Amino acid sequence: MACPAAGCDTRPPLATTLDNAEGTSLAGAWPGAAERGLFTCAFIALFAELMLIRWVPAALELVGYYSNLLLVSSFFGLGLGVLLAGRRSLFGWFPALLLLEIVVIVAAQQVALPTAASTDELRFQGVTEEGARLRSYVVLIAVFAANSAVLVPIGQRLGELFSRAPVLRAYTFDLGGSLAGTVAFGLFSYTAFSPVVGVAIPLGLHALMATWRQRLVGLPLGLAALGLMGQATDPNAVWSPYYYIVIKDPGGSRALSVPPPDVRTRTNPPGFVVSVNHNFYQYHGTIDPTRFDERAPGLMPPDEVRERYAIPYALRPDARSALVLGAGGGLDVEAALLHGVAQVDAVDIDPGLIALARRWSANGVYDDPRVRVRVDDARAFLEREARTYDCVVYGLLDSQALFSSMSNVRLDGYVYTVEGIRAGWQRVAPGGVLSLSFYVAGQQWLAVRLERLVKLATGLDPILYTEGKNLVIVVARGAIAPPARIGTFARLDRLVGASGGAATIPTDDWPFLYLRERTIPRDYLLVLVTLAAGVVITIAAARPVGGRLGAPEAQAFFLGAGFLLLQTKSITDCSVYFGATWLVTTVVVTGVLLMVLLANLATIKGVGRASYVSLFAALVVTCAMPREWILGLPLGGRLAWAALAVPLPIFFAGQIFSTAFRAAPRPAALFGANLLGATLGGLCEYGAMVVGSRGLSVLLIGLYALSLLAARRARG
């Protein structure tokens, strides 16, 4: 529908009247077609967005370190779609665009693209060859473009529906659908994740909203997408809350689905290869030499493997208790039991890996009465646990994944910080040892950084043992005379030869162990600049129905940027307080959406007043509070801080947006600008690689200050 004059209100007269009435509320009116459509579209957008963020890195190894950019591209697609409201409908294109993205993923699989390595960041088995890296970047841009396109039709329908109901009432149902989509996906992802079923849910809801003509075209395309997606991942795979896991035969060439029935009792038991997101991750087997005989020398783990696990107990042979962080397949736990440890606490963040180890590992340690299994984040366990141990053992914890799609911090980021290692050191009993094993992949700067990290956290010079690319760092509480060799592992006096990267020690403010310097790697910058250029071009070219974007939309843009940056910062902060688990991320996102919903309802009811003064005051309090002080609080105090203080800025920002939204002559344009602003906020989150978390606080306040300036200009 064309607008007769620039800047006119395209909403029905009834919607305008209701919005301007004092005390507008949700009471007394059953949700109409527009409200139901808004709820459903928001649900589709959130569920499909999270589904693709979960599936794409599993299907395409290359994307594993960029999954947060999938979130950014999703906001870009939604925002672009909302700005296209009022033009020719694209809603029927959703199945076709979803099929297109899956085709792009499958085609990239056939090219066998490796993980692109960067000179600035260590990535497991990353390839540095220039031609391979260039191909990888081209594929990344294609994946992000396709991911953005998928959500354009849904965004356009959202923008159209906003003009058919009172704007804050419409916004309430939009937030409700987003909240329902987040909770539903969290439960689905944890309990019974299936990529085919996951994609079928938004496709089915889309079909319910589509016209008959759109269904005739969309249903076959949707079925084709489901079939192609089923072929893109291994049918024997297991989906844990964090990983796409495949168990392979001892040679690592063939995927398996059922373990041998006698794996626990067999002489010469096999060791199975566990891969996550297409990369080797760990072995599930046994290191007990009594389980093997001379007839099967190829099945026994190499000497250096068994000796690495034995180092802590060679230095503390009388250990009676042990804590294993990153227990995984149980080999570290088995080593403790083989050396006479009477009580072992085994901690691993992934319940899927623990469950697989119970079925596939010949060692059977997780059913041993001497072992207590704790499914938890290692850092969170250390902060909560009060007891001490003779041996605190850090397994090979290289996570090979980001802990959340809303952060560029690795899953083990807050384990390998000064504060994280110090928390482990506090759990070491008098006369005990702390042992940290790491595969440094020949990167001397990383080895030196780890040595200095441990020294700074403990205040003692560590004992170093190396073999090939393996490094074991041990610190002892008390006098220990370490031997010159432990099997094939040789003791080093110190590590030398690394100039770059070693001086930058990870802390909770800068938790980037694998990043060589305080910088944004060039490959990230390439993708970031491309996405930012897309946002700039869209804003410059956008001409929503009613005229170009102006000062009100600029205010919404910077509110959106601040919102997503604040949300990602809240997730990373709360992961320090409670652990980097899927549950913490889901709870924080749910809490954020609830807070925005409450802010919108408060605006509708006229409770409180939107104020930038309140917003900036809340930001200063939450950003300036020392993290060490919050970590020093008991669990109840940290919960109170997370529940009461962290959401306050989100509430005040939500009220400001709802107030501006209600007064907007073009709500769809305002909402689209807000979503595009969220794209900018997601890109800004990468600034933490340079300035750290506290530096992001300054940037966050700056974004909201720009929003205030735009609001003043709009009023002027």
Q: Are residues 258 and 347 in the same domain?
A: yes
Residue 18 has pLDDT above 60, yes or no: no
Last residue of a domain, one of 460, 492, 524: 492
pLDDT-based confidence at 510, cuts 50/70/90?
A: very high
pLDDT-based confidence at 7, cuts 50/70/90?
A: very low
**Mean pLDDT score across all residues of the chain:** 84
Q: Are residues 330 and 346 in the same domain?
A: yes
Q: Are residues 281 and 218 in the same domain?
A: no
Residue 30 has pLDDT above 70, yes or no: no
What percent of the chain shows pLDDT beyond 70? 89
pLDDT-based confidence at 118, cuts 50/70/90?
A: low
476 bridge partner residues: 433
Residue 422 has pLDDT above 90, yes or no: yes
pLDDT-based confidence at 545, cuts 50/70/90?
A: low
Which tokens go with 640? 């109170």
Q: Are residues 274 and 188 in the same domain?
A: no
Q: Are residues 484 and 523 in the same domain?
A: no
Asked whether residue 17 is domain-assigned, the answer is no
Q: Are residues 525 and 473 in the same domain?
A: no
Asked whether residue 24 is domain-assigned, the answer is no
> Which pLDDT does position 25 carry in this prediction?
47
Please list, in sequence order, all residues whose beta carbon lies within 8 angstroms of the beta carbon of residue 309, skipping any fewer than 6 positions away. Answer: 287, 331, 332, 334, 335
| 8: number of Cβ within 10 Å | 13
Asked whether residue 504 is domain-assigned, the answer is no
> Which pLDDT does position 15 carry in this prediction?
41
Residue 9 has pLDDT above 60, yes or no: no
> Which pLDDT does position 488 carry in this prediction?
87
> Which pLDDT does position 1 carry in this prediction?
34
Residue 103's alpha-carbon distances to 96, 114, 118, 204, 354, in angstroms, are: 10, 18, 27, 20, 34
Residue 252 has pLDDT above 80, yes or no: no
Question: How confident is the model over 154-170, as pLDDT tens digits?
Answer: 999 999 998 888 888 99
Residue 181 has pLDDT above 60, yes or no: yes
pLDDT-based confidence at 141, cuts 50/70/90?
A: confident
Q: Are residues 150 and 273 in the same domain?
A: no
Last residue of a domain, one of 492, 523, 546: 492
Q: Are residues 482 and 562 in the same domain?
A: no
Distance CA 91, CA 76 (A): 17
Asked whether residue 275 is domain-assigned, the answer is yes
Distance CA 118, CA 633 (A): 39
Asked whether residue 12 is domain-assigned, the answer is no
What mean pLDDT is predicted for residues 195-222? 93
Q: Domain count of the chain? A: 2
Asked whether residue 124 is domain-assigned, the answer is yes
Residue 531 has pLDDT above 90, yes or no: no
Q: Are residues 214 and 293 in the same domain?
A: no
Asked whether residue 10 is domain-assigned, the answer is no
Residue 26 has pLDDT above 60, yes or no: no
Q: In terms of residue numbers, what domain contains 165?
A: 31-237+514-715
Q: Are residues 311 and 352 in the same domain?
A: yes
What mean pLDDT is predicted for residues 137-146? 86
Asked whether residue 4 is domain-assigned, the answer is no
Q: Are residues 271 and 376 in the same domain?
A: yes
Point out the least confidently predicted range of 46-55, 71-80, 103-112.
Answer: 103-112
Distance CA 678, CA 531 (A): 12
Point out the least confidently predicted range of 70-74, 120-124, 465-469, 496-500.
Answer: 496-500
Question: How confident is the model over 466-500, as pLDDT tens digits?
Answer: 888 788 888 888 778 888 888 888 888 777 655 55
What mean pLDDT is predicted for residues 441-466? 89
H helix count then E strand count, the chain: 23, 13
Residue 71 has pLDDT above 90, yes or no: no
Question: How confident is the model over 315-358, as pLDDT tens digits?
Answer: 999 999 999 999 989 999 999 999 999 999 999 988 889 999 99
Which CATH number do you get for residue 74?
1.20.1250
Last residue of a domain, one of 443, 460, 492: 492
CA angle, residues 514, 515, 521, in degrees to nearest 5: 135
Q: Are residues 233 and 364 in the same domain?
A: no
